[in-house]
Amino acid sequence: MQSFSYFNRLLLSVGLLSIAMIAYQLSLMQYLSIVQWYHFAYMVIAIALLGFGAAGTFIALFRSFLLKKIVILLPLLMILTGICMPFAVWLSGQPFARFDTYLLFVEQRQLWQLLLYELLFFVPFFFCALAIGLVFVKYTDTIGKLYFSNLVGSGLGGLAAIVLFWTATPTLIPFITGFVSLIAALFILPNVKRQVWLGATGVAAIVLLGIGVLFPPSLPISQYKGLSTTLDLPEATVEKTANSPYGWVQYVSSPALRYAPGLSLFYTGEVPIVDAVFSNGDWAGAVLKTPEESLILDYTTSAVAWELATHEKVLVLDAGTGIRTQYAEMKGASHIDHVESNELVSGFAVGNIGFESKDAVTWYRQDARSFLAQSSEKYNLISLPSLGAFGGSAGLQALQEEYLLTTEAFSKIYDGLKNDGFLEITVWMDYPYRNSLKITATISEVLAEKGIHYPEQHLIAVRSWSAMTFLVKKTPFSEAEINKIREFCERLYFDPLLLPDITTEERVAYNMIEDHSLFTLIDSLVSGKREQVYANYEFHLRPATDDKPYFSQFLRLKSYPQLQEMFGSQSASFFELGYLIVWVTFIQSFILALLLIIFPLFFLKTKLNNKGWTLGYFSGIGIGFMFVEIVLIQRFILYLGHPVYSVAAVISGMLLLSGLGSWFSSKVQLSLPAIRKVVLLIIGLLLVYAVGLSSILQASIGFSLPLKIMIAILLIGLPSFFMGMPFPLGLRFLSKKNESGVPWAWGINGCLSVVSASFATILAVEIGFSALMLFAAGAYLITMLSCYINKT
Amino acid sequence: MKTSLYLLGFILAFSTPVTAQDNFQRERQQMVNQQLVARGIKDKATLDAMRTVERHKLVPQAQVRHAYEDRPLPIGHGQTISQPYIVAYMTEIINPRPGMKVLEIGTGSGYQAAVLAEIVDEVYTIEIVNALAESAKNSLREMGYTNIHVKAADGYYGWEEHAPFDAIVVTAASEFIPPPLIAQLKEGGKMIIPVGAPFTNQNLMLVEKEKDGKWKTQNLFPVRFVPFTRN
């Protein structure tokens, strides 16, 4: 009875620890997105899994000692996990450990600081994994239930993180998860000196929570982030702050903040002083004090859309802080649909503007693609947000899924136009030319797909010294409209970029550029010589699709040496910093993963049998599971309308259903043929998903949210249930034949998961999600084939 | 023996800084030859100024040994000191001459102001970040510049009391060119602005106020970054 009771408490404890760990992992992803950039999400996943891999190695090396002391070690490790969670965050903000993404390719010592940074965050994951790993090794016979508890806890941790994002600050969350870890320890305290353990753990838990609430650490935000540079401005103050799963949002005011993007040199009046909203430390938009101030846009290239007509019905996609909405209203639009999913960004601005109370404006709190899928309205003007950043970005957007900039999205937008309707998008000038060319390619491909034979009659563009605006029209631009565009350019010192029968001289009347290849390339893209440009240009220009929604990923690796030669190695790195960071993470984790697999193999050589089976079997599971997870997250971003919901649904859904599968696995006969059948079933399912998942999602994207959630649970849960089985089955099988191999197998699984987290991202960028799903099926095929080489 | 040691110590104490100075001077000379002349900077006044200004005195302590390297360096507050070539290019393009009055927006480290001050009569420079303005003001004073006037203020308004200016150098570009700056530039004057994310400086924008009151802009790609030609 006593042991049964202890086992139940153990199940609860493992579940609680898993909740804390996943919630911590997700909060760390947000924390690093704030203080650095979101690419560190990949680093966090890698570190977390590396902690699990390293713990496997550690157990393999010191197994007998650890198992002998398990009664004391388990609660101790949970306590250490709890304390290290906030402590790692605090330490990472101290000057000796602080590192900056921007300086990574500038200062050598930043590489060491990055390593130290990773090491700090590795520690809590290592302790946590050691505790869970010890439980798995000690109670292998009941691995199904324990794994169930671990996975269900992890799934609930994902949901807990969402709740915490709404209710707690980014710096408080690690203290809360640390507190939960300490509570987990309370359930399994040793009987010897129990009162002392109880007192110490209880006090530690209260102190931890107290520090988190009363003295939370500050957020050491990179000096190169928009929020930091803005707070350096005179009298800059943070007026409001709120946290949410969409991001940590701040409302900042300063008399030195002004808004007039790409303003014409013709303008001599006042430039409005604005407030600004930041999300995760990055600029999210300006907030005007009065709607009238939006008329400053009359002196920018984006005004060209209003030069041609007064648009009655306007759709503003990814409307942000609502400036384009206000402008449309000021220009006389009588019906404006303002579509913005980030409640806080629009919400802060709406508080100031109050446009929601106006009859003309309707705010749709949803993702632009979901709106387009559900709406059957037709508009006179559809406005997209500006693309790129002033002066060009450092490529930090490269790995951001941008579903509003895919060919499928443009096709939907085109369908949403009235016959004489316009699509408007402004692009910041960059050099070497990338954004402007890719948007031209995207629009041209969509026009071709719509059966437009003379795209130059449907697409015009005007250019200022810093930006260019593209206008697309369903029917050809009339002579009168073309004349109006020429007058508009002449008046504001702009130059036409795309007009029927345009000359080079006309294109540089006011704003000269040294490299005229912009014109020849744009002309080639519009005139249908796109494949030739895609093949020859040094950057990746092929339009993004829903299968590869990385519009801002321009780097072609084969061109990189040439870029280094032309621009210098440092400048070249800054063209596509984001993509390079993922490569750095991948290479780093690959080396560490190899060390963690090879290392114990070397020491345990005499004790292991069937090394090939263990390696193949558990590698396949590690890679396959992670690949599927990444593909599903990506697919459901578009389907559910926001990355946060997608991550929550996929992580929680996959882990919960895998947990159920794991529980069910104890009923599966423990034999290699039985395992092969389960894995074969998974491979079959993944192949079906690779081919058909996209179509199912596209067909049902317009359904109501509750229905979509049900479909999502079904689609995520089905493969997950079966994918939860091979791991516990394999471990049970291994423990029967060769018990000392269990921790090593666990380590392999963890390490390969580490590598595949960043590798999956690279593959998704290069070959797309459907192909990545095929790779996942291939990984499970390795698992299945490895069963044939098992000699037992 | 004791006397010899003292003597040795005396010689070392006084010769070390001299050697360090020599090293910096040599680095500066190399910088001019290898990074500037070799890439097409021709203006004698600009080259002389680049040979004279002690860049290492205007960078943070941790960056002193990299002061003359061919790259921008971090100076804190999310700002950088541009790479020497960009500073030289921006100086050359406005064609600075004695008797001129130049306005700089974005003092940063003070290096660009110092280079200009070697050539023109007066340099007025404005920095919005207080800490940077103070640090640059102190460094430039210690270096003996009396014709550089530093003000901690919002560069949007320019420096009306001393307008009009023969040229304006904007080292911290923003999404728009402030109308007051446009008004404070003499007819026929030039304004130069670097455009790019931190550590990149991929291109420069030259704005010219023509005699008829019209404006022209020109996107320039520094010679080092040869126009991005392709097949």
Distance CA A53, CA A61 (A): 13
Residues of B in contact with A558 (CB under 8 A): none
Q: Does A271 touch chain B (CB under 8 A)?
A: yes
Give the Å distances, CA to CA, from A177 to A272, A647, A681, A762.
Answer: 44, 19, 37, 31
**pLDDT value for B115:** 97
Dihedral, CA of residue A378, residue A407, residue A403 and residue A397, to nearest 10:
-130
Domain with residue B186: its CATH number is 3.40.50.150
Q: Do A106 and B174 touch (CB under 8 A)?
A: no
Q: Chain A residue with minimal CA distance to B152?
A: A234
Cα A506 to Cα A495: distance, rounded to the nearest angstrom: 7
Q: Test B176 with A266 for CB contact under 8 angstroms.
A: no
**CB contact (8 A) between residue B156 and residue A255:** no
Structural domain includes residue B228: no
Distance from the Cα of B89 to chain A's closest Cα (Å) equals: 15
Pairwise CB contact (< 8 Å): A233 & B199: no
The overall average pLDDT reported for chain A is: 87
* Chain B environment of A266 (Cβ under 8 Å): 215
Asked whether A699 and A639 are in contact (CB, 8 A), the reply is no
Residue with more model confidence, A66 or B196: A66
- Quote the minimal CA–CA distance from A308 to chain B in Å: 24
Buried (b) or exposed (e) across A544-580, using 16+ Cβ within 10 A? bbbbbbbbbbbbeeebbeebeebbbebbbbbbbbbbb
Higher pLDDT, A149 or A104: A149
What's the whole-number mean pLDDT along residues A36-52?
72
Between A173-186 and A70-92, two packed helices, what is the crossing angle to 10 degrees?
A: 170
Would residue B121 count as lying in a domain? yes
Predicted confidence band of residue A574 (pLDDT cuts 50, 70, 90): low
Q: Say whether B202 and A571 touch across the interface (CB within 8 A).
A: yes
Sorting pLDDT into bands at 50, 70 and 90, what band is B3? Answer: low
**Cα-Cα-Cα-Cα dihedral sign, residues A679, A681, A687, A690:** negative
Closest listed residue to residue A428, CA positions, set A401, A464, A471, A475 = A464
Least confident segment among A500-504, A648-652, A698-702: A648-652
Each residue's pLDDT tens digit, A527-564: 988 999 999 998 899 999 999 999 988 888 777 777 77
Pairwise CB contact (< 8 Å): A538 & B228: yes
For A50-89, the three-class secondary structure string (H helix, E strand, C coil) is: HHHHHHHHHHHHCHHHHHHCHHHHHHHHHHHHHHHHHHHH
Q: Residue A706: is the preceding peptide bond cis (ω within 30°)?
A: no
Q: How far is B133 from chain A (nearest CA, A)?
A: 12
- The answer on pLDDT for B103 being more than 70 is yes
- Scanning every residue of chain B, which has its alpha carbon at the shortest distance from the alpha carbon of A267? B179
B15 is catalytic: no
User: What number is the average pLDDT over the span A275-290?
Assistant: 89
Q: How confident is the model at residue B123 (pLDDT cuts 50, 70, 90)?
A: very high
The residue among B67 and B20 whose pLDDT is bigger is B67
> Which 8-state DSSP code applies to residue A476?
P
Q: Do A233 and B128 touch (CB under 8 A)?
A: yes
| Torsion region of A24: left, alpha or beta (phi above 0 gives left; psi -120 to 50 gives alpha) | alpha
Q: Beta partners for A248?
A: A243
Distance between terminal CA atoms of chain A? 36
Scan residues 200-239 of A and list those with Cβ closer than 8 Å to B: 222-225, 228-229, 232-234
Q: Which residues of A touch B203 (CB under 8 A)?
A: 431
Predicted confidence band at A218 (pLDDT cuts at 50, 70, 90)? confident
Return the half-sphere exposure (C-beta side, CA atoms, 13 A cut-off) of residue A518: 25
Q: How far apart are CA A319 and CA A306, in angstroms?
A: 18
* Residue in B78, B128, B220 nearest the CB of A223: B78
Token pair 């016959």 in the structure block, residue? A419
Q: Testing the interface with B: which of A233, A265, A436 to mutate, by most B Cβ within 10 A? A: A265
For A225, nearest residue in chain B (alpha carbons) = B78
Q: Do residues A555 and A540 make contact, with C-beta atoms less than 8 angstroms apart? A: yes
Task: Report chain B residues whose CB lies below 8 A from the CB of A517.
Answer: 227-230
Burial class, A283, CB count within 10 angstroms (exposed 0-12 / middle 13-18 / buried 19+): middle
Min CA distance, B8 vs chain A (Å)? Answer: 36
Give strand pairing partners of B81.
B73
* Pairing outcome for strands A273-279 and A282-287: antiparallel
Q: Per DSSP, which regions of A429-476 are E strands?
A: 459-463, 467-473
Indicate the residue of A232, A266, A575 with minimum beta-carbon distance to B129: A232
**Angle between helices B44-52 and B2-30 in degrees, nearest 10:** 150
Distances (CA, A) of A326 to A289, A353, A376, B53: 11, 9, 23, 50
Is residue B127, in this structure, part of any structural domain at all? yes
Q: Confirm if A100 and A222 have CB atoms less than 8 A apart.
A: yes
Cα torsion through A65, A70, A76, A82, rounded to 10: 110
Q: CA–CA separation, A540 vs A552, rounded Å?
A: 9
**Is B230 inside any structural domain?**
no
Is B225 a residue whose pLDDT tops 50?
no
Segment B80-93, tens digit of pLDDT = 888 898 899 999 99
Q: A536 to chain B: which residues are within 8 Å by CB? A: 230-231
Distance (Å) from the C-alpha of residue B231 to the closest C-alpha of chain A? 7
Nearest-Cα distance to chain A for B158, in Å, is: 13
C-alpha–C-alpha distance, residues A768 and A401, integer Å: 12
A534 in contact with B, Cβ within 8 Å: no
Indicate the residue of B74, B179, B214 with minimum beta-carbon distance to A268: B179
Closest CA to A137 of A668, A738, A753, A721: A738
Instruction: Report which residue type is found at A435.
Output: N
pLDDT of residue B226: 37
Give residue A2's pLDDT: 45
**Count of other CB atoms within 10 angstroms of residue A320:** 23
Q: Minimal Cα distance from A393: which residue of B?
A: B197
How is the beta sheet containing A379-383 ordered, strand by strand?
A361-364, A335-339, A313-316, A379-383, A417-428, A467-473, A459-463, A495-498
Please choose, from the candidates A594, A663, A651, A657, the residue with its C-alpha nearest in 3D space to the C-alpha of residue A626.
Answer: A651
Peptide bond into B164 cis (omega under 30): yes
Please tell me which of the candidates B73, B176, B228 has its beta carbon nearest to residue A515. B228
Structure confidence at residue B64 (pLDDT): 92
Q: Which of B128, B203, B230 sits opposite A538 (nearest CB)?
A: B230
pLDDT at B208 over 50: yes
User: How close does chain B come to A309, measured CA to CA in Å?
Assistant: 26
pLDDT, mean of residues A396-423: 89
Of A232, A233, A570, the CB nearest to B71: A570
Rounded to 5°, angle at Cα B107 from B96 and A392: 90
Closest CA to A83 of A24, A38, A31, A32: A24
- Mutation for testing the A interface, residue in B34, B228, B231 having most A CBs under 10 Å: B228
State the pairing for strand pair B101-105/B122-127: parallel
Of A31-40, A458-467, A755-764, which has the strongest mean pLDDT? A458-467
Place A524 in a pLDDT band, splitting at 50, 70 and 90. Answer: very high
Q: CA B179, B181, B183, B187 torsion: positive or negative? A: negative
Query: Between the CA atoms of A42, A163, A122 and A113, what dihedral angle is there, to the nearest 10 degrees?
Result: 70
Report the percent of chain B where pLDDT is more than 70: 83
Report how far residue A24's alpha carbon sits from residue A28's, in angstroms, rounded to the nearest whole number. Answer: 6
H or E, element range at A497: strand A495-498
pLDDT at A305: 95
Chain B residues in contact with A262 (beta carbon < 8 A): 175-176
Question: Is A510 touching B (CB cutoff 8 A)?
Answer: yes
What is the pLDDT at residue B228? Answer: 34
The residues, ordered by sequence, that sit 6+ positions from A91 with a Cβ below 8 Å of its Cβ are A97, A120
What does DSSP say about strands B165-170 and B185-195: parallel, antiparallel, or unpaired?
Answer: parallel
Mean of pLDDT values over A327-346: 90
Identity of the residue numbered A202: G
Report the DSSP pairing between strands B185-195 and B203-209: antiparallel
Q: How confident is the model at residue B19 (pLDDT cuts 50, 70, 90)?
A: low
CA of A424: how far to CAs of A314, A470, A502, B101, B149, in Å?
A: 11, 6, 20, 43, 45
**Looking at the complex, does the CB of residue A190 fall below 8 Å from at least one CB of chain B?**
no
Q: Residues 80..119 of A with a Cβ closer than 8 Å to B: which?
A: 102-103, 105-107
Distance CA A589, CA A47 (A): 8
Q: Which carries the bigger pLDDT value, residue A590 or residue A723?
A: A723
Q: Out of A394, A433, A514, whose CB is closest to B197? A: A394
- The residues in A 430-489 lying below 8 A from B, measured between CB atoms, are 431-433, 465-466
Q: Which two structure tokens, joined as six digits, stand for A516?
A: 């005229």
Q: Which domain holds residue B43?
A: 2-223
Average confidence (pLDDT) over A123-129? 93
Name which of A128, A143, A110 is nearest A19 in CA terms. Answer: A128
- Contact residues on chain B for A225, CB-CB shorter than 8 A: 78
Catalytic residue among B82, B109, B135, B139: B82
* Residue B49 identity: A
**pLDDT at residue A567, as a whole number:** 67
Q: Are A331 and A309 in contact (CB under 8 A)?
A: no
Q: Is B144 within a domain?
A: yes
Residue predicted with more confidence, A135 or A605: A135
Of the pLDDT bands very low, low, confident and very high (cuts 50, 70, 90), residue A608 is low
Residues present in chain B in total: 231
In this prediction, residue A460 has a pLDDT band, given cuts at 50, 70 and 90, of very high
Residue of B nearest to A260 (CA): B176
Helix or strand run (H / E) with residue B139: helix B130-142
pLDDT band for position B230 (cuts 50, 70, 90): very low
- pLDDT at residue B15 tops 60: no
**Count of pairs with CB atoms under 8 A, one residue in A, one in B:** 157
- The reply to whether residue A103 touches residue B217, judged by beta carbons under 8 angstroms, is no
Can you give the length of chain A in residues? 792
Beta strands in chain B (DSSP E): 73-76, 79-81, 101-105, 122-127, 148-152, 165-170, 185-195, 203-209, 215-220
Task: Count the Cβ atoms, other than its own, within 10 Å of residue A763.
Answer: 18
> To the nearest whole percent, how much of chain A has pLDDT over 90?
47
DSSP state of A381: E
Hey, are the CB atoms on B176 and A223 less than 8 Å from each other?
A: no
Residue B75 · residue B81 · CB < 8 Å: yes
Q: What percent of chain A has pLDDT over 70?
A: 92
Residue B218 counted as domain residue: yes
Question: What is the interface pTM, i.e. ipTM, of the complex?
Answer: 0.81
pLDDT higher than 80, residue A300: yes
CB contact under 8 A, A394 and B228: no
The most distant pair of C-alpha atoms in chain B lies apart, rounded to whole Å, by 80
Q: Tell me the pLDDT band of B220, cut-offs 50, 70 and 90.
A: confident
Q: Show residues of chain B in contact with A391, CB under 8 Å.
A: 173, 195-197, 200, 202
> How many separate domains does chain B show?
1
Q: With an 8 Å Cβ cutoff, are B74 and A232 in contact?
A: no
**pLDDT band at B60; cut points 50, 70, 90:** very high
